[in-house]
Amino acid sequence: SQQGEEDPQALSIQEGENATMNCSYKTSINNLQWYRQNSGRGLVHLILIRSNEREKHSGRLRVTLDTSKKSSSLLITASRAADTASYFCATVAAGNKLTFGGGTRVLVKP
């Protein structure tokens, strides 16, 4: 079973627009991470936000975390064609495993 659920499942935007995707989870967490995957290949770590943090930035990425609502959002600003990929949230609760959601498929049209 998957801890996180991303919304929307798919997103299509024009280059230069912002892309926002959300992740909801069920149990208390230690941290939440976002990963990118291009065309069924390996995952690339984007950003980690700890349970005591509310917002984090990395380049064109902005992540928020609301532990009271058990939700997170990932914003990609000024999107580029190269941002076309699937984006996954992953939570860390007890133990050492990451629990991934089902992903949001983002298409950035030039």
- Examine residue 101 and tell whether it contacts another protein (CB under 8 A): yes
State which of residues 14, 42, 68, 69 lies at the interface with another protein (CB under 8 A).
42
**Residues 6 or more apart whose Cβ sits within 8 Å of residue 21:** 6, 7, 8, 11, 73, 74, 87, 104, 106
> Judged by CB under 8 A, which stretch of 14-22, 41-49, 57-65, 77-85 contacts another protein?
41-49
- Examine residue 19 and tell whether it contacts another protein (CB under 8 A): no
User: Cα 104 from chain centroid?
Assistant: 8
Interface residues with another protein (CB under 8 A)? 1-2, 4, 30-31, 33, 35, 40-45, 48, 88, 90, 92, 95-103
